[in-house]
Amino acid sequence: MVNPTMPTDPVEPPYAGHGALGLIAAEVWDHLWPWSRTGFARQRTLQAAGLALAAGATVMWVLAALGRLDAGAVIGWWFGWSVFEVIVRLGSKPYVKEGPWWGRRYRKATLMDMVCYVGFKNLLIGATLFIALKSTGALVL
């Protein structure tokens, strides 16, 4: 029987029953570390990784050819990594949170859910890192 109260079927990640601090720590780890043991066991991940990295490298080199190597390399690398991460997560941690971010409801992630999750998360992480690199002068635009 389908549960229509969620856009996809509910899922319980291993840490769903942890206490508040444990849950926060586990979610932070989840945001930063896309792999899981079960995910490694799947060969399609490796294949997808090759494709994703090739796509990322292509973008990077096109940008480099346009004379924007410094910032372009970073954007290209981050884009490539994000594609890779989407595919890795779909194999290893295929769930997203449903409803309030402080809640404990999780659901199965569709491809678009994962694209939205990784895209949004990596945009925030990327922007933070980009600003940090710029402010230290490590990145020249």
Partner 1 sequence: MLQDDPKMNMPAPLRKLLTGAALALCSALALADAYNAELPAELNTAPDLCRLAPCTEVLPGATEFSERKGRPFYVEGYAHKDGQRELVGYVMLSTDITDIPAYSGKPVITLIGMDSTGRFAGVKILKHSEPILLLGIPESALVKFNDQYLGKFVGDKIEIGRTRPEEEIIGLDAISGATVTVIAQNQVMMTSGTAVARQVGILEPVVREPARFIETGRTPDWAALVKEGSVQRLTVRPEDVGLPRNGEPFIELWFGYLNQPDVGRALLGDVPWRKLMERLGENEHALFVIRSGGKESFKGSGFVRGGIYDRVQIRQGADTFTFRDLDYLNLYGLAAAGAPAYDESAIFIVRPEHQAASFSAAWPWKFAFLGNRVDRATGQRSFASFDTEYWLPAHYLQGGRPHIEQPVPPWLRVWQTRALEIALFAALLVAVGIVYANRDRLTRASTHLNKWPVNAFKYSAWLISIGYVGFHLMAQPSITQVLTWFHALLFQWKWELFLTDPFIFLFWIFIIVTVFLWGRGLFCGWLCPFGSLSELLYKLGGAIGLKRFQFKLSKPLHDRLKWVKYAVFAGLLGVSVFSMTLAEMLAEVEPFKTTFLVGLLNRSWPYTLFAAGLLGLSVFIERPFCKYLCPLGASLAMPSTFRWFGLRRKQECDTCKACAKGCGSLAIDKDGRIDQRECLLCLDCMVLYTDGHGCPPLAQERKRRTKAGLPLTPIGADGYYIPIKPVPAKTPATV
> Where do contacts with partner 1 occur on this chain (CB under 8 A)?
1-8, 62-63, 66-68, 71-72, 75, 96-101, 112-113, 115-117, 119-120, 127, 130-131, 137-138, 140-141
Nearer to partner 1, 42 or 126 (CB): 126
Cβ 37 to partner 1 shortest distance, Å: 26
Cβ 41 to partner 1 shortest distance, Å: 28
Cβ 60 to partner 1 shortest distance, Å: 11
How far apart CA 71 and CA 12 sit, in angstroms, is 39
CB atoms within 10 A of CB 44: 10
Cβ 85 to partner 1 shortest distance, Å: 15
Nearer to partner 1, 48 or 59 (CB): 59
On the 0-12 / 13-18 / 19+ scale of CB atoms within 10 A, 93 is: buried
Nearer to partner 1, 2 or 20 (CB): 2
| Phi and psi, residue 95, nearest 5° | -145, 155
How far apart CA 69 and CA 65 sit, in angstroms, is 7
How far apart CA 78 and CA 125 sit, in angstroms, is 10
Nearer to partner 1, 17 or 99 (CB): 99
Q: Which helix (H) or strand (E) holds 106?
A: strand 106-108
